[in-house]
Amino acid sequence: MARKPKLLWIQSLTCNGNSHSFFNHSNLFSILSHFELIYFPLIETKYSLEDVLRKKVHSDILIIEGAIKEDLTKGGVNIKELIHHYAKESRYIITAGTCATFGGIFKQSEPEKISGFAFDKENEKEDILSLYEHRLISLPGCPIHPKWLSYVLLMIINRRRIPLDEKNRPQELYGFTVHTGCVRNEYFEWKIDTHGFGHKEGCSFYENGCQGPFTHGSCNKILWNDTSSKTVVGTPCFGCTEPDFPKERLFSTKTNMGIPQKMPLGIPKRAYLTVTGIAKSFKIKRLEKKVIDYEK
Amino acid sequence: MIVKKLIEKIEGEAELEFDFQDGVIRNVDIKFNLYRGIEEILKNKAPRDALVITPRVCGICNHAHLIASVGALEDGINRSVKKFEITEKARDIREFTLACELIQNHIKWLYLTIFPNLNRVLNIQESKNYALKAMYVSNTVTKALAIFAGQWPHSSYAVPGGVTCDPTFVEVMQAKSYIEDVIRFFENVVLGIKLEEFLAIKSVTNLDKLKGDFARILFMLGKNGFGKIGQSYDRFIVFGNSKFSMPGKATATTVSGADIKFVQEFEQEGSFAKAVKYKDKFFEAGPLARGIVAKEPVIKSMHKKYKDSTLTRVFARIYESAKLLYVANEILKNLRIMQDSCTLDSKIRLEEFEGIGVAEAARGSLIHKTEIENGKIKDYQIITPTQWNLANGAAAAKAMIGLRSENIASFVFKTFDVCSVCTTH
Ligand code: SF4
Ligand code: SF4
């Protein structure tokens, strides 16, 4: 039997949310059974953090969690340098989460010093990409979706090529928008708003700031915790997989003469306006009503 | 003699510096290094954006941050903008999802921290996959949470006025099945007896009914002297008011009222973490504090026999998990889904106010303070439970002083359920 690939998970500047998100995977141990787990922050392995920091272990697949900060140290070891040490020998490098991929929330505290591993927001870090581009897989999301990560790990194990986009994101996950599969699609089609928070009826695109139509990701195709998603429960999508996450005023839609400023991905404004004009010229009674009458 | 130890597999890492004199620990210096500047990041943002940013303080107690954060906004709105109340339904759903997060946390702590570390300290070789048990509970209980909150970690479904979700009974019944699954696990694996039978126990003398992993951990701790070590200040504090917590403070088991205005933060030299005191004194926060302040009979009985020792502290956390499961199930049984989910207009302008929000997180009282000016966050302050417990000189440090081994001390430290990311934020 061939040797199992070594899986090494390193944390940089992070909230630990990706570790906890992945740990919640229903099939966690079946997935891990394909690997030799060298280090993962929540599970005991043969090796200690000291061993990782002292470069006593090896890595075939490196998972990076958290943003890169120039001078961050743990136990006296510079983490950026440590990540490069293991990246050099790894066959795959996965940036797990928006912080590791683009810089994320924490970048805002010291923008010059903090960034993603290979991207600084939108921008490519050319020195890094020239070294690692062909081994790099970006998995943004705040936090990472457990099943997106397992998809990548199992593709690697099964020796299948993962189609990537220009930011090294798997197209099978990020080729869709969060809008794809949202239960509120019918209301989007007919341009019917939620009218505030706390309603199963309506779409959050018009007032509540939903970024689903222009956010790359499969949150509504591969549900969260196998059960739901933000937009399903009436929370707007905040675009947490995007390089510019977090934007400002996350609970309200920026509009221009009543029309959302930012268009659904790839849809020309003219097309949107035409469709909207038609949709709005009809009153669809069923969609204006509450779906269920509960006797109070 | 100074002995340094890197503590890992807590939330983040900490470095402990033990000062040994004549073989006894006289002082412990606790260092956390993961400062991320969340409070700075919040400045000048729209008030509601805190509901998205603050959960990112912590991957394991993110939901508590959301609840404290929305509480701060609501407090401010109520005091300075508009009087309103959230519905019982909204309150219940928030308490339910928070309870789910606490259960997730406590069970991970038991199986990912306590069992493996105790085995290590006591040199017990075992090949059990405790992580599998932790994963099962965490996975199942966060499914129930996500049914209402959309996802875990990092939901932002609580907004001023209530919650964004509007569940039908289809969702409620699904959530109930998940909770029942976890209760079944608890009865079969953790307690070895029925949940209600366990919760009816009022005195330590009846704990011999327990079987399962809980019995095992109590036996191991008791046999190895953990009922006599780990005592701290014996002062406890709770600010959150919910179906699973009562506000108040206690010295030993004498309970009195507590007022948030006496809470003060202090800079600590050489550390990113600030210490917190109440009227100039250190207090302990967390499940033990909640049990003592709520005068839970079995916790009082434990305290009478074992004081605020490591054994009592561990007991209190597992006991609380059982109680939370019961509370979560009751909430779902009685949930009035016909009430409004959200009672505040989403367009209400948030221009100028100050507000304080509190949530009982897994590790204790979490306090958020927000100050809004010109429609923007002027100042935001977060006081986390771990600041109560883990600052230099605070509860955890005190519990380690007088011990003779840094390994035992590190275990005592971990029973406080250490979270370095929250401490520094
Ligand atoms: S991307 Fe989000 S979940 Fe991941 S470390 Fe950053 S804040 Fe935490
Ligand atoms: S709520 Fe958001 S994701 Fe859902 S249909 Fe509307 S715009 Fe799309």
What is the CA(A192)–ligand 2 centre distance, in A? 11
For chain B, the C-alpha Rg in angstroms (whole number) is: 21
A218 lines ligand 1 (CB under 6 A): no
Residue B190 has pLDDT above 80, yes or no: yes
Which residue's CA is minimally distant from atom 2 of ligand 1? A142
The structural domain count of chain B equals 1
CATH of the domain at B115: 1.10.645.10
Report the pLDDT value the prediction gives residue B10, as an integer from 0 to 100. Answer: 79
Residue B86 in any domain: the answer is yes
Q: What percent of chain B has pLDDT over 70?
A: 99
A143 lines ligand 1 (CB under 6 A): yes
A210 lines ligand 2 (CB under 6 A): yes
B168:A200 CB<8 A: yes
**Burial grade of B423 (CB within 10 A; 0-12, 13-18, 19 or more):** buried
Per-domain residue ranges of chain A:
6-174, 176-296
Over residues B155-165, mean pLDDT: 98
Residues of chain B in contact with residue A251, where contact means CB-CB under 8 angstroms, are 46, 48-49, 51, 159, 346
Over residues B187-207, mean pLDDT: 97
Residue B141 has pLDDT above 90, yes or no: yes
Report the pLDDT value the prediction gives residue A47, as an integer from 0 to 100. Answer: 96
A21:B153 CB<8 A: yes
Could you tell me which CATH class the domain A176-296 is placed in?
Answer: few secondary structures
Strand partners, B6: B15
Name the residue range of residue B130's domain: 46-371
Report the pLDDT value the prediction gives residue B203, as an integer from 0 to 100. Answer: 97
Residue B377 in any domain: the answer is no
Average pLDDT, chain B: 95
CATH of A6-174, one of 3.90.660.20, 3.40.50.700, 2.130.10.10, 4.10.80.400: 3.40.50.700
Report the pLDDT value the prediction gives residue B244, as an integer from 0 to 100. Answer: 97
| Regions of chain A where pLDDT drops below 70 | 1, 296
Over residues B349-370, mean pLDDT: 97
Report the pLDDT value the prediction gives residue A206, as an integer from 0 to 100. Answer: 97
Nearest to B178 by CA among A18, A225, A199: A225
Q: What is the β-pairing status of strands A119-120 and A123-124?
A: antiparallel
Residue B419 in any domain: the answer is no
Residues of chain B in contact with residue A15, where contact means CB-CB under 8 angstroms, are 36, 56-59, 62, 421
Report the pLDDT value the prediction gives residue A289, as an integer from 0 to 100. Answer: 93
Residue B419 has pLDDT above 90, yes or no: no
Residue B213 has pLDDT above 90, yes or no: yes
What is the CA(A206)–ligand 2 centre distance, in A? 9
Tell me how far apart the alpha carbons of residues A284 and A202 are, in angstroms, rounded to a whole number.
Answer: 12
Residue B273 has pLDDT above 90, yes or no: no
Over residues B90-106, mean pLDDT: 98
Residues of chain A in contact with residue B337, where contact means CB-CB under 8 angstroms, are 294
A213 lines ligand 2 (CB under 6 A): yes
Residue B409 in any domain: the answer is no
Atom of ligand 1 nearest to the CA of A21: 3
What is the CA(B74)–ligand 1 centre distance, in A? 26
Which residue's CA is minimally distant from atom 7 of ligand 1? B56
Here the tokens at position B274 are 């600030």
Over residues B355-372, mean pLDDT: 97
Residues of chain B in contact with residue A294, where contact means CB-CB under 8 angstroms, are 337-338
Report the pLDDT value the prediction gives residue B391, as an integer from 0 to 100. Answer: 86
DSSP chain A: -PPPPEEEEEE-B--SHHHHHHHT-TTHHHHHTTSEEEEBTTB--SS-HHHHHTT-S--SEEEEESBEETT-EETTEEHHHHHHHHHHH-SEEEEESHHHHH-TGGGGGSTTTEE-SSEETTEE-HHHHHHHGGGEEEE--SS--HHHHHHHHHHHHTT-PPPB-TTS-BHHHHSSBTTTT-TTHHHHHTT-B--SSS-SSSBTTSSS---GGG-BS-TTTS-BTTTB-TTTTTPPP--TTSTT-S-S-TTS--EETTEESSPSTT--HHHHHHHHHHHHTS--HHHHS-S-----
Over residues B35-55, mean pLDDT: 96
Residue A124's CB: how many other CB atoms inside 10 A?
15
**0.95 surpassed by pTM:** yes
* Ligand 2 pocket mutation pick from A190, A205, A215 by most atoms within 8 angstroms of CB: A205
**First and final CA of chain B: distance in angstroms?**
31
Over residues B212-239, mean pLDDT: 97
Report the pLDDT value the prediction gives residue A44, as an integer from 0 to 100. Answer: 92
Here the tokens at position B179 are 């909770």
Report the pLDDT value the prediction gives residue A296, as an integer from 0 to 100. Answer: 64
A17:B46 CB<8 A: no
Here the tokens at position B226 are 């953990």
Over residues B119-148, mean pLDDT: 94
For B167, name the nearest residue in chain A, comparing CA atoms only: A200
Weakest mean pLDDT among A238-242, A274-278, B28-32, B158-162:
B28-32
Report the pLDDT value the prediction gives residue A1, as an integer from 0 to 100. Answer: 54
> How far away is chain B from the Cα of A236, in angstroms, using its nearest Cα?
9
Residue B364 has pLDDT above 60, yes or no: yes
